Structure 1
Amino acid sequence: MSTKEIGRQIMSELMGADYVQSKEKKRNSFNSVIHEYSEEVCFGKVWARKGIDRKLRSILNIVMLTALNRPNQMRNHLEGALNNGCTVEELREILLHTAVYCGLPAATDAFRVAEEVLQGRKLID
């Protein structure tokens, strides 16, 4: 299997087939290079590596995306973290921990996005 195929498979397992299809619909001659980079390098090479499991990779992404204040990517990776076995309680503790090291405003924004994702999945009220 090529790194592109591996990447698409991992993205599908992580965020769902709908996510991959939605990404494909947005692809055009301008943005195809960044889509290929994401598929081949991010997911096809880095996410496919051994050494740490997908749940830990998801946790790392949530922490980094909180620090960088990237809510759109946060939504995707929260979905992935849940698919990779993170619990609501773990996500709450991870985000609380970011408040100390990333700052309260960043953590508050991340909590807000997480609440939307968790409510959408009916995991919280």
Structure 2
Amino acid sequence: MVDVPNRPEYQSEMFKKGLAVRREVLGADYVDGSLARADDFNAVFQQMTTEIAWGMAWTRPGLDRKTRSIINLGMLSALNRGAELRLHLRAALTNGVTRDEIKEVLVQVGAYCGIPAALEAFKIATEVFKEADSAKKGA
């Protein structure tokens, strides 16, 4: 884990709380890289996502991480947000969501949000699963 860049946006307790969860769910390399690449223009976005999504939503006691991941997969698939879906598919696997559960989420997306949204989500999930399998074989 690298040190967080010393920016005023990254100093609040909510940021630190969110950062810990964000690293656990998405992986420290990904998160630390995002923070390191931030500049004066977009550091505020890193603050926003870390404090609001990770510090406020993901740390609430009402849902476990697996359930939050399942919800994210449905929303990101429905919104057709491929890059974020790819990231959150990996996070879902980290949080204990099975491939069969992911399949069922994507079928539900197809029924309620349309076949094109589900098709794209299935394609991305297949790619993520292949990458995960390759990483396991290489480890």
> TM-score per shorter chain, which class?
over 0.9
Aligned AA (1:92): K
Q: Which residue of 2 aligns with 1:71?
A: 82
**Structure 2 length normalisation: TM-score?**
0.85
- The runs of 5 or more residues in structure 2 that have no matched partner are 1-11, 135-139
- The runs of 5 or more residues in structure 1 that have no matched partner are none
**Partner SS for 1:121:** helix
Q: Which residue of 2 aligns with 1:104?
A: 115
**Partner SS for 1:122:** helix
1:1-125 equivalences under 5 Å are: 2-122=13-133
Greater C-alpha radius of gyration: 2
CA distance in 1, matches of 2:21, 2:97: 17
CA distance in 1, matches of 2:84, 2:60: 21
Higher relative contact order (CA 8 A, sep 6+): 1
Report the Cα offset of residue 34 of structure 1: 0.9
Seq. identity, % = 41
- The 4+ residue runs of structure 1 with deviation greater than 4 A are none
Report the Cα offset of residue 18 of structure 1: 1.0
**Structure 1 length normalisation: TM-score?**
0.94
Report the Cα offset of residue 25 of structure 1: 2.6
1:4-57, Cα deviation, whole Å (9 max, x unpaired): 111111111101111112211321111111110001111011110011111111
Report the Cα offset of residue 93 of structure 1: 1.1
Report the Cα offset of residue 122 of structure 1: 0.5
